[in-house]
Amino acid sequence: MDPLSVASGIAGLLSVALRVGMTIGVYTNAVKGASKDAQKLEREVEAFTFVLKQLGDFLQSKDAAHVVFEPTCVLLVATNSCEKELSDLQKKLERHSKGDKTARLIHMLTWPFTDKENKDTIDTIHRWTQLYSLSLQTAGW
């Protein structure tokens, strides 16, 4: 698989990550004194999107033109897995903000994750950030 095909997968993942970040951002901006958990998750997603942007730039550069990716390479497998998990996270965030006006207001005042769920999500996104960052370092970027 060529770098541009992989870059398009990364672009799709970046799109999902940006939507997740925006949804969390709406919560943290709307709720005065939003939980530190929500703020931590927002920062982790921001760091992840930054690394994804860098990786996308690298994959579209002439430095990556000679690279060939096997369908089973870690980068491709991780991208598919990551996109599914982030999409599931986005769906949970969206479900939490649906309903009538009163339900949405109540939901905006509560964070949809337990402390453990939030910590696990932050840890998972942090691992993805490290994986993609390591990919860039390995490539010399």
List, as one string, the DSSP characters of 105-134. Answer: HHHHTS-SS-HHHHHHHHHHHHHHHHHHHH
pLDDT of residue 11: 92
Give how many domains the chain has, as a whole number: 1
Q: Name the residue among 3, 18, 30, 4 with its Cα closest to residue 83.
A: 18
Query: CA separation (Å) from 30 to 73, 97, 121, 135?
Result: 41, 12, 21, 36
| Residue 100, pLDDT above cutoff 80 | no
pLDDT of 121 over the 80 cut: yes
Cα 13 from chain centroid (whole Å): 7
> In terms of Cα–Cα distance, which of 70, 66, 76, 79 is closest to 1?
70
- What is the spatial distance between Cα 73 and Cα 6, in angstroms, rounded to a whole number? 11
* Mean pLDDT value across residues 83-111: 79
CA 10 to chain centre: 11
Q: How confident is the model at residue 99 (pLDDT cuts 50, 70, 90)?
A: low
Query: Residue 112's pLDDT is what?
Result: 82
- List, for residues 2-46, the tens digit of each pLDDT value: 677 788 889 999 999 999 999 888 888 877 667 788 889 999 999
Residues 10 and 78: their CA atoms lie apart, in Å, by 10
Q: Say which range, 10-14, 68-72, 76-80, 124-128, has the weakest mean pLDDT.
A: 68-72
Mean per-residue pLDDT, 70-88: 84
Q: Which residue range(s) make up the domain with 13?
A: 3-138
* 3 state DSSP class of 13: helix
Q: Give the chain's mean pLDDT.
A: 85
What pTM was estimated for this model as a whole?
0.85
